[in-house]
Amino acid sequence: MLADRAAIRHFDRVLASACMEYCWVESLAQLGASLQGGAVGVVVAEVSGLNADGIRLPACVRQFCERDGEGEGAQPVIVLLQGDIAYGTLVRHAEISRDQGLDVRVVRREGRMSGVLEILRGILSAPPKGRTKRRHNGYGSLKESDLRRGLSSPGEVRIVLQPQYELASGLLAGAEALVRWRHERVGEVPAIVTVTLAHRHGLGDALFHHVAGLTASVLARLQRAGEGLRIAINVSADVLCAPQFVPRLIGDFGRLGLDAKRLTVELTEDMPADDLLCLSTALNLLRLHGFGASMDDFGVGNSTPELLTRLPFDELKIDSRYVRRAAIDPAARAVLASALQLSRDLGLRSVAEGIETPEGLALVTSMGCQIGQGFLLSPPLEVGEFQGELPRLRRLS
């Protein structure tokens, strides 16, 4: 979809000489008809004031594909050409579309013909499975009974530990415990699926205490070995507010003789903080008993500045979406900088999660962030690997 006749003629010449099969469409409605049956591999559209359909294209493709027999057809790759729109704005639109499972590429105004051709050649030379297909993963078939069984079968629901580092010194500071579930039929279940299933069936607190128990065992072993590392575990607002939450955690830790300051509880953003008094009571109790309290995923969902100003956190964990984009996106960088300033002003420890690139690491370090976590530093590790590899993990290489 291009608005400019001269550009269309130019594309015609180039695509014909590259022997590619294509057609022009003038409206999204016309495109919808072509998309039916999944015969279209790539859709190219300019995004400009003259062609506002371009910006609507990802949302429309998602809608067409949802209508076209749930998950059966291959989704086309979408190529958005920069017209009279700022490049950064278009990149952000593409990122939001990709979060929705669409394959969206962006080509700059300058040299856009060669940019499009490069993408088309890449797609044509990729094996068909490289095309975006909606995956059937079977998670939807998981039931309450599956999770109940998983929680009571030793080893089925386990934790992995992702190391966290002090950025100034490169020394290991601790780890975050993340839930993992290996289901016999479905295979490895993503944390977010496990957590959502637990919430849906009122098993959020059972999952939390299962994870806390596994974490306490690791901390006990570390404490016996004289290791002063801290481990963070995740909790949603509704679980934190359950009446027996804090007494049970204190009891479990006390019985093992564990030092409360080795555990940080991260409040995740997934549940609304409906009852602020309840949250304030639970977090204050945790802090009074010496546990750490972290505001996780700051800047997205329910993890808001309002909560930060009112609840007794000692750590601010900036959401990975800002950290991952900061090196390339000035808007994300600005939010990251102000979150770091906020944590300094409030006397909180700052943590950047989602550090994936050396540029990202250099940026958060130069901005004064204290702790870092991300695939670049270390992926989440099985407990045995974490403990066995401690000498190597102790310092960033």
Question: Contact region for ligand C2E (CB under 6 A) — 93-101, 123-131, 283-291, 374-382?
Answer: 374-382
| Nearest position to ligand C2E, beta carbon | 374
Q: Which residue has the tokens 């102000």?
A: 338
Residue length of the chain: 397
Nearest-approach distance from CB 254 to Mg ion, in angstroms: 24
Nearest-approach distance from CB 251 to ligand C2E, in angstroms: 19
| Residue 374 engages ligand C2E in binding (rule: CB under 6 A) | yes
| Residue 353 engages ligand C2E in binding (rule: CB under 6 A) | yes
- Does the CA dihedral 15-16-19-21 come out positive or negative? positive
Residues numbered 284-313 forming contacts with ligand C2E, rule: CB under 6 A:
296-297
| Residue 296 engages Mg ion in binding (rule: CB under 5 A) | yes
Cβ atoms of 335 and 302 within 8 Å: the answer is no
| Residue 266 engages Mg ion in binding (rule: CB under 5 A) | yes
| Residue 297 engages Mg ion in binding (rule: CB under 5 A) | yes
Q: Which does 215 bind (CB under 5 to 8 A by kind): Mg ion, ligand C2E, none?
A: none
- Count of residues interacting with ligand C2E (CB under 6 A): 23
Cβ atoms of 223 and 262 within 8 Å: the answer is yes
Nearest-approach distance from CB 313 to Mg ion, in angstroms: 13
Name the nearest CA neighbour of 242 among 194, 200, 208, 287.
208
Nearest to ligand C2E of 90, 175 (CB atom): 175
| Residue 234 engages Mg ion in binding (rule: CB under 5 A) | yes
| Residue 205 engages Mg ion in binding (rule: CB under 5 A) | no
Nearest-approach distance from CB 189 to ligand C2E, in angstroms: 10
Q: Which two tokens stand for residue 40?
A: 């279209």
| Residue 179 engages ligand C2E in binding (rule: CB under 6 A) | yes
Contact letters (x/-) for ligand C2E, 213-252, by CB under 6 A? ---------------------xxx----------------
- Count of residues interacting with Mg ion (CB under 5 A): 4
* One-character DSSP codes across 72-119: TSPPPEEEEEESSS-HHHHHHHHHHHHHTT--EEEE-STTHHHHHHHH
| Residue 372 engages ligand C2E in binding (rule: CB under 6 A) | no
Calculate the CA dihedral of residues 297, 299, 300, 304 and round it to 10 degrees.
100
Question: Contact region for ligand C2E (CB under 6 A) — 125-133, 190-198, 285-293, 340-348?
Answer: 190-198
Q: Cα–Cα distance between 88 and 181 in angstroms, integer?
A: 38
Nearest to ligand C2E of 103, 297 (CB atom): 297
Name the nearest CA neighbour of 123 among 132, 112, 136.
132
| Residue 45 engages ligand C2E in binding (rule: CB under 6 A) | no
Nearest to ligand C2E of 77, 195 (CB atom): 195
Beta strands at 187-189 and 172-183: parallel, antiparallel or unpaired: antiparallel
Strands (E) in 167-277, as ranges, are 172-183, 187-189, 230-235, 263-267
Q: Which two tokens stand for residue 47?
A: 């995004």
Q: Cα–Cα distance between 150 and 15 in angstroms, integer?
A: 54
CA distance to 45, 49, 53, 327, per residue, from 82 (Å): 9, 11, 13, 21
Residues numbered 132-171 forming contacts with ligand C2E, rule: CB under 6 A:
162
Nearest to Mg ion of 192, 346 (CB atom): 192
Helix or strand or coil: residue 361? helix
Sheet containing 42-47: which strands, arranged edge to edge? 42-47, 77-82, 104-107
Name the nearest CA neighbour of 134 among 101, 99, 104, 94.
101
Binding site for ligand C2E (CB under 6 A): 162, 178-179, 190-192, 195, 211, 234-236, 266, 268, 296-297, 320, 353-356, 374-375, 380
Binding site for Mg ion (CB under 5 A): 234, 266, 296-297
